[in-house]
Amino acid sequence: MHAGIDKEAISTGTSKELEEEDIRYWSKATAAEKFETITYLRECFYGSEATTGRLQRVYTVFKRS
């Protein structure tokens, strides 16, 4: 069952116009919507384990001269 492309969800314009549209959209989004999107993107890039566990701490030690 292929639903096809929702042509109403596609927007066109210059990169500056699209960036401004993104800024307007995210400035109106709630904190919960932003958190859900970040969680979704973390799962896409790093897998489901990235959102089920804790964030890894990274320590860097520099030798002073």
In a domain, 2, yes or no: no
pLDDT tens digits, 11-64: 788 999 989 999 999 999 999 999 999 988 888 888 877 767 666 678 788 888
In a domain, 35, yes or no: yes
In a domain, 3, yes or no: no
pTM for the model stands at: 0.55
Q: Which helix (H) or strand (E) holds 32?
A: helix 31-46
pLDDT score at 25? 93
In a domain, 59, yes or no: no
Looking at the structure of the chain, the number of domains it has is 1
- Reported as a pLDDT band with limits 50, 70 and 90, residue 1 is very low
Task: Find all residues with CB under 8 Å of 29, minimum gap 6, and list them.
Answer: 37
In a domain, 8, yes or no: no
Its domain, for residue 46, covers 14-50
